[in-house]
Amino acid sequence: MDPSSWTPDELARVSRATELELTSRRPDRSFRPYVTIWVVGAADCLYVRSAYGWNNGWFQRALKSGEGRIRAAGVERDVAFEQPGPDVADAVTAAYHSKYDRYGPSIVDTVISAEAVKSTLRLVPR
């Protein structure tokens, strides 16, 4: 298995999981406490967004460290955090709608807003 890609099983399991736990690395290489967030799959990649925008603490720590770990649905992997280009924004937004609209617009709007779109990270397995 290429360590820089998700297996089909990992991608399917994490994409189906309602929530994902994510942690970033501290400068001393230890992990910060996990945060629980929503995750979606689009175009054979996994994405997360900061519901509280660019300045949210977990998001800023993930940007700064560039790496961490995720766990969901029995999958646990070290990952790199990458900011995707704008070309995936619509697909990621559609994936959030498809997966989470059942929770209602007041909740889903937090991950499809313009601020949330700016605060998107691709999870790249390491």
Residue ranges, the chain, pLDDT below 50:
1
Does CATH place domain 8-107+114-125 in 3.40.640.10?
A: no
The one-character DSSP state at 83 is P
> Which tokens sit at 47?
């994405």
CB 62 within 8 A of CB 120: no
CA distance 36 to 46: 15
Q: How many CA atoms lie less than 13 Å away from 121 in the CB half-sphere? A: 31
The model's pLDDT over 48-80, given as tens digits with 9 standing for 90+, comes to 999 989 999 999 999 999 999 999 999 999 999
Single pTM value for the model:
0.94
